[in-house]
Amino acid sequence: MASRRRRPPRVAILVETTRTYTRELLAGVRRYVAARGPWSCFIELRALESGPPPWLRNWDGDGILTRTFTRGMADAIAATGLPAVELRATSLRSERPFVGMDNRLIGQMVAEHFFDRGYRNFAVYSLHTERFFEERARNFVAAVRQRGGGCARLPEPVSDRAADWERGQARLISWLTALPKPVGVFAANDQLGVRLLDACQRAGIPVPEEVAVVGAENEETLCAFANPSLTSVRFDGATVGFAAARLLAQLMRGGARPRGEILFPPKGIVVRQSSDEFVIHDRLVAHAARVIRENATTGMNVGDLCRKLNASRSTLDRRMKAAIGRTPKEEILRVRFREVERLLRDTDLTVEAIAGQTGFAYSHYLQAAFKEAHGQTPGEFRRRNALPEGKY
């Protein structure tokens, strides 16, 4: 008589689906299941602070992958008695094994990013509500101090009320205004990075010339929405998800739980406009860089720049070349091309419309200059780099 086919493990995946990182986690779990499965996965669209699903109480399952936000969720998972792996560095995880990102390396990476760009003033902006926020902030401060730097800190209380938001932004503006500059500020996550950039915009503080900002988690929607776009530490969600699924499979087979946390390094820093410049110590050149950033796409030329700065072209050429390795004309083109690239990636505007928005008098001037600088036409660049449908 043929033996009864063993049913696949039943696994509940209680992971929010609203974030770039968590979607990458799910992709990693899926990769494990495709390679080592099958599993019967109980999964649903979930918000950031979703509670335990009602069916969990009487669920006949084998294991759970979870990101736990509430005490009720933690208690409900514990009550099942099933093997479970935590994917969120929370104090609510109790005795569950944890798989996630290494916050020590995140802090080190951001500190190195700022030091490499010439920053010697540092600050960190964090929430005191979560262990992982505090770990990121503490490790950034430690990395800065290890290299002889000091670091200002501003923990942020949390409130969803509009009045508190406005008071919080006023407090943030006051803090940013008082910081010695130029300063590199690490935001413990991307939401805080967006708040920093909004405060800088309200206060008229140039970014990144006076305040450079780096966030964490690389939440693509937020990073692209920010003005200017937000540099962020890219997490390795796919690797974390795969490892968590592998560990859960081990636990469901009766294997021993790991002695400590299983941590993975970030994949690097995605550099965007909020920290894409080096510190410029020549004040004339720093002023020129700011004027170019603010006016290059309006059609400003080198003559206009010299008049704004009350400086001769030869002086500006010599000092900009020495400080940043580019002439005023090259810097104007670089800033224009960066905006051209953004519009090609993120919009369906015609090349003619893009030329008009980026300071080129005629579209054929843009096409010729772009091909000379990039080795490809604007159309070819768009085909290779345009965002997939529904990316944001």
Of the pLDDT bands very low, low, confident and very high (cuts 50, 70, 90), residue 74 is confident
Indicate whether 64 pLDDT > 70: yes
392 found inside a domain: no
- Looking at residue 159, its pLDDT comes to 55
Point out the least confidently predicted range of 216-230, 360-374, 377-391. 377-391
Verify that 124 and 91 share a domain, yes or no: no
Residue-wise pLDDT tens digits, 43-63: 888 887 788 888 998 899 999
Given a cut of 90, whether residue 73 has pLDDT beyond it is no
Amino acid, res. 91: S
Q: Among residues of the chain, what percentage have pLDDT more than 90?
A: 63
Residues paired with 13 in a beta bridge: 43, 65
Say whether both 186 and 258 belong to one domain.
no
Question: CATH number for the domain including 221?
Answer: 3.40.50.2300
The DSSP code for 233 is E
Same domain for 45 and 117? no
In a domain, 3, yes or no: no
Average pLDDT of the residues of the chain:
89
Same domain, residue pair 108 and 256: no
- What pLDDT, on the 0 to 100 scale, is given for residue 161? 59
Render 285-353 in DSSP notation, one character per residue.
HHHHHHHHHHHGGGT--HHHHHHHHT--HHHHHHHHHHHHS--HHHHHHHHHHHHHHHHHHH----HHH
230 and 108 belong to one structural domain: yes
Query: Do the domain assignments include residue 372?
Result: yes
92 and 178 within one domain: no
Surface-to-core class of residue 351, CB atoms within 10 Å of its CB (0-12 exposed, 13-18 middle, 19+ buried)? buried
Handedness of CA 102, 108, 111, 112 (dihedral sign): negative
Instruction: Decide: helix, strand or coil at residue 258.
Output: coil
Query: pLDDT tens-digit profile of 254-288?
Result: 998 888 889 999 999 999 999 988 888 888 998 89
Give the CATH number for residue 352.
1.10.10.60
Shared domain for 355 and 208, answered yes or no, is no
pLDDT score of 162? 56
Helix H or strand E segment including 283: helix 283-295
Instruction: Find out whether 26 and 45 touch, Cβ atoms under 8 Å.
Output: no
Kindly state whether residues 128 and 92 are assigned to the same domain. Answer: no
Range of the domain at 344: 283-385
pTM higher than 0.95 for the full model? no
The 3-state DSSP composition of the chain as helix, strand, coil percent (nearest 5) reads 50, 15, 35
pLDDT tens, position by position, 322-364: 988 889 999 999 889 988 988 998 788 999 999 999 999 889 9
Q: How many CA atoms lie within 13 A of 60 on its CB side?
A: 2
Summarised one tens digit per residue, pLDDT across range 139-193 is 999 999 999 999 999 876 665 555 688 888 999 999 999 999 999 999 999 999 9
Give the confidence band of 89 by pLDDT, cuts at 50, 70, 90.
Answer: confident
